[in-house]
Amino acid sequence: MTLWTDTNYISLIPVLVSALNRQQSQIDSLKQLVNKKNSSTSKSAEIPTTVESPDIKTSDVATLSQNAPNPFSQSTTIGYYLPGTVQNANIYIYDMNGVQLKSYPVNAKGNGSLTINSYELHSGMYLYTLIADGKEVATKRMILTQ
């Protein structure tokens, strides 16, 4: 009997979501504290509450973005960027045991996105990877709740 077969990953989802929510609350509180301190000592710029990514990338490096929303219950969008030099790219979805469940060809160069609908998968945690020209660009996690 191994640890992997005894672990109920589905039961971890509420724990992970709760931890993410607590972490975001802490981040928001710290931002408010820093902004309050900055405004009382000087008129320096506030710390942004959101991070914006540029619409146009000029890099020659492929990138994979975190899906949003995450966790999701209906659908989620995975953003990516492929430079013009990439010949072949795919986004793969894996379960937590490393079993490949889905494969999506990515043909558009530049900024693009892929929408995953909840009916394509069961509730749980998944990994997704962008492979461009046979090389792993990045791997990220996503959580589907229902």
pLDDT digits (tens, 9 = 90+) for 126-146: 999 999 999 999 999 999 997
- Same domain flag for 70 and 117: yes
Closest by CA position to 16, among listed 105, 134, 131, 145 = 145
In a domain, 23, yes or no: yes
- Same domain flag for 47 and 111: no
In a domain, 58, yes or no: no
Looking at residue 50, its pLDDT comes to: 44
Looking at residue 9, its pLDDT comes to: 61
- Same domain flag for 43 and 94: no
In a domain, 57, yes or no: no
In a domain, 35, yes or no: yes
Structural domains of the chain, count? 2
Looking at residue 44, its pLDDT comes to: 47
For residue 50, give the DSSP letter.
Answer: S
- Same domain flag for 18 and 69: no
Which of the residues in the chain have pLDDT under 70? 1-13, 15-17, 40-59
Looking at residue 26, its pLDDT comes to: 79
Taking residue 34's Cβ as centre, other Cβ atoms within 10 Å add up to 12
Q: Which residue range(s) make up the domain with 16?
A: 8-52
In a domain, 3, yes or no: no
In a domain, 22, yes or no: yes
- Same domain flag for 83 and 119: yes
- Same domain flag for 127 and 83: yes
- Same domain flag for 67 and 111: yes
Looking at residue 49, its pLDDT comes to: 45
Q: Give the global pTM.
A: 0.60
* 138, 109 contact by CB (below 8 A): no
Looking at residue 59, its pLDDT comes to: 67
- Same domain flag for 71 and 136: yes
